[in-house]
Amino acid sequence: MEQKLVALSGNEAVAYAFKQAKPHVASAFPITPQTEMMHKYAEFVANGESTTEMILVESEHSAMSAAVGSAAAGARTFTATSSAGFALMWEVVYIAASLRLPICMALVNRALSGNINIHCDHSDSMGGRDAGWIHLFCENAQESYDNAIMAWRIGEHMDVRLPVMVNYDGFIISHTADSLKMLPDDAAYDFIGKYKHNYSLLDVENPVTVGPLDLTDYYFEHKASQLAAYDKVPGIVEKVSAEFGDLTGRHYDLCEEYKMDDAELVMVMLGSSAGTAKDVIDEYREKGVKVGLLKVRMFRPFPNALIAKALAGRKAVAVLDRSASFGGFGGPVFTEVRSAMYGQKVPVNGYIYGLGGRDFDMKQTESVIQNLQKVAAGGQLDDVNLLGIRA
Amino acid sequence: MSFLKNSELHEGGVIKEAGNAHEYKTGDWRTFVPQFIEENCIHCMFCWIYCPDTAIEIDTSGDKPLMKGIVLEHCKGCGICAHECPPAKKGKSALVMIREEK
């Protein structure tokens, strides 16, 4: 498939990807760094390049509520937000998943207040990690575009029917011009396909009740059905990604393994910092250090068995979190990976890095690799460490 | 009533069967129960109109609808019917609330 090589910011790339899905409805409220994405989308609509009905709401709580209403009416729907905007959506974020509505959302990752900060970390998405959405994380503009195309196919698959969140790092990806390949509009839409709904509030011939009162007699059964839905997700994500790979030549898995074949030391992380880590890994590989990277693309549902297998038999593992879990045992990714590694004798240490957009630089990556070497040689290290902080 | 298993529920907890409130028995919520005194009834249908549930049974086979009685499986004992029932026959109402004794 011939694809155009373009230079776009991550926000523009995702706006194009969403446009190519021909969504019926988009609802959104502006918040930095997401604003530019919806700004671009509004431009498409104003210029007649998209027929999406845009609902400009007065808050993110309403943005997600409008998205839920629209999806329940049987429309292909998306929204986008960041940070405090996602926090304000929170109540309705759960409802979207519980009602099994395949809404797509761009979550342009930004730190939560306070103090107020507009830069990247993953504390916004991690606040909603138990809400029932599928969480995809991206390393650059290309991956953001690709995941924003695949998200529709994944969420709307009849065996899935769940909302999908495409996470990409605020400013680092959203506002940085990057080169990427884009599918032609027709090819993208052919891949995504026409929207199908399971029920519609507007179908008066087949009336339905959506979101009824659900007390002690049924709530638990409904949650049991919802829990069962996540078992099917990894297989569908793999299938859709394989088809996408055949079409574009860009291949994705639930996790990306970088120089993992013979790696004794492994870093695990999400998002844009994986790019920095790869460069430093290359340098250390030249020095003969067997270090690799496991980049988690799909954080929810968490691919625990796959990760446990990928990390089995390594000499030391470092899990890097771009968010803190206050009062918890390490960051969210660390907690999950440690738990997935239960019963294995592989030392797993956690790091918290890059909060509020603090640069994740090569020096920090080097210090992680040096710590991995130390741990592999039997040295001691705290379970959870802060990276790149003035101590 | 019997309960469905989780495997029998629609995705997302959606209810696709219309008018199913009829199958949901709410009669055991009651403390007070309306007594229907047929000889005082003028069949004005106020009770049928005001009943917030479907607890008033009527017969619509004739020219005018006739009040038949209370559907105790659905009556929650709110007393609205008795409140609205006009004392049309010698100042006597056709619906009176009494405490339900088990």
Contact with chain B for residue A214, Cβ under 8 A: yes
How much is the pLDDT for B6? 86
Do the Cβ atoms of B15 and A98 come within 8 Å? no
CB burial of residue B26 (10 Å; 0-12, 13-18, 19+): middle
Both A223 and A261 in one domain: the answer is: no
Q: Model confidence at A1, in pLDDT bands (50, 70, 90)?
A: confident
How much is the pLDDT for B102? 64
Q: pLDDT digits over A35-82, tens only?
A: 999 999 999 999 999 999 999 999 999 999 999 999 999 999 999 999
Contact with chain A for residue B9, Cβ under 8 A: yes
CATH number at residue A61: 3.40.50.970
* Mean pLDDT for chain A overall: 97
Contact list in B for residue A212 (CB cut-off 8 A) is 13, 15
Do the Cβ atoms of B13 and A206 come within 8 Å? no
Residue A297 has pLDDT above 90, yes or no: yes
Share of chain A above pLDDT 70, in %: 100
Contact with chain B for residue A89, Cβ under 8 A: no
CA A217 to the chain's CA centroid: 34
Both A126 and A267 in one domain: the answer is: no
CATH number at residue A340: 3.40.50.920
Q: pLDDT digits over A336-345, tens only?
A: 999 999 999 9
Instruction: Report the CATH fold assignment for B38-102.
Output: Alpha-Beta Plaits (3.30.70)
Token output for A11: 């926000």
Contact list in A for residue B7 (CB cut-off 8 A) is 225
How much is the pLDDT for A391? 83
Q: What is the DSSP secondary-structure string of A165-221?
A: EEEEETTTTTTS-EEEEE--HHHHHHHH-----S--TT-TTS--B-S----TTTHHH
Both A243 and A259 in one domain: the answer is: no
Both A234 and A295 in one domain: the answer is: no
Among B92, B36, B46, which Cα is nearest to B68's?
B36
Residue matched to tokens 């839905």: A229
Q: pLDDT digits over A140-192, tens only?
A: 999 999 999 999 999 999 999 999 999 999 999 999 999 999 999 999 999 99
Contact with chain A for residue B14, Cβ under 8 A: yes
Contact with chain B for residue A216, Cβ under 8 A: no
Both A228 and A323 in one domain: the answer is: no
- How many angstroms separate the CA atoms of A150 and A164, rounded? 10
Token output for B25: 């028995």
Token output for A77: 């729907």
B6 → closest Cβ in A206, A208, A225: A225
Both A209 and A292 in one domain: the answer is: no
Residue A104 has pLDDT above 80, yes or no: yes
Shortest Cα–Cα distance, B38 to chain A (Å): 37
Average pLDDT on A264-284 reads: 98
Do the Cβ atoms of A98 and B16 come within 8 Å? no
Q: Which residues 92-111 of chain A have a CB within 8 Å of chain B?
A: 98-101
B6 → closest Cβ in A161, A198, A221: A221
**How many degrees, rounded to 5, is the angle at CA A25 between CA A75 and CA A141?**
110
The residues, ordered by sequence, that sit 6+ positions from A297 with a Cβ below 8 Å of its Cβ are: A136, A137, A138, A143, A147, A252, A253, A254, A255, A256
Which CA distances in Å does A79 have to A18, A55, A71, B16? 10, 10, 11, 27
Both A54 and A146 in one domain: the answer is: yes
* A vs B: CB pairs below 8 A: 47
Which CA distances in Å does A191 have to A76, A104, A152? 15, 16, 10
A198 → closest Cβ in B4, B7, B11: B11
Q: pLDDT digits over B69-101, tens only?
A: 999 999 999 999 999 999 988 999 999 999 998
Both A275 and A178 in one domain: the answer is: no
Shortest Cα–Cα distance, A226 to chain B (Å): 7
Q: What is the largest CA-CA distance in chain B?
A: 58
How much is the pLDDT for B25? 87
Do the Cβ atoms of A100 and B11 come within 8 Å? yes
Both A107 and A220 in one domain: the answer is: yes
In chain A, how many domains are there? Answer: 2
The residues, ordered by sequence, that sit 6+ positions from A373 with a Cβ below 8 Å of its Cβ are: A265, A289, A316
Contact list in A for residue B15 (CB cut-off 8 A) is 208-209, 212
Contact with chain B for residue A205, Cβ under 8 A: no
Domain boundaries, given as residue ranges, for chain B = 38-102
Residue matched to tokens 């030549």: A249
Both A290 and A202 in one domain: the answer is: no
* Residue A391 counted as domain residue: no
Average pLDDT on B22-32 reads: 89
ipTM passes above 0.85: no
Helix extents (H) in chain A: 10-20, 35-46, 60-72, 83-98, 123-127, 141-156, 185-192, 219-229, 233-248, 273-286, 304-311, 332-340, 362-376
How much is the pLDDT for B19? 83
Which residues are A178's β-sheet partners?
A8
B15 → closest Cβ in A101, A161, A212: A212
Q: Are B67 and B56 in contact (CB under 8 A)?
A: yes
* Mean pLDDT for chain B overall: 93
Q: pLDDT digits over A279-296, tens only?
A: 999 999 999 999 999 999
Contact list in B for residue A225 (CB cut-off 8 A) is 6-7, 9, 11, 13
Both A272 and A220 in one domain: the answer is: no
Shortest Cα–Cα distance, B97 to chain A (Å): 29
How much is the pLDDT for A386? 97
| Enclosing H/E stretch for B46 | helix B46-50
What DSSP character marks residue A351?
Answer: E
Q: Are A59 and A70 in contact (CB under 8 A)?
A: no
Do the Cβ atoms of B13 and A218 come within 8 Å? yes
Rounded (10°) CA dihedral A63, A321, A144, A155: -60
Substitution target from B11, B22, B24 for chain A, most A beta carbons within 10 A? B11
Which residues are B32's β-sheet partners?
B99
Q: Which residues 153-172 of chain A have a CB within 8 Å of chain B?
A: 161
Share of chain A above pLDDT 90, in %: 99
Residue A226 has pLDDT above 80, yes or no: yes
A98 → closest Cβ in B7, B13, B15: B13
Range of the domain at A238: 4-247
Both A238 and A264 in one domain: the answer is: no
- How many angstroms separate the CA atoms of A91 and A26, rounded? 19
Contact list in B for residue A232 (CB cut-off 8 A) is none
Shortest Cα–Cα distance, A37 to chain B (Å): 30
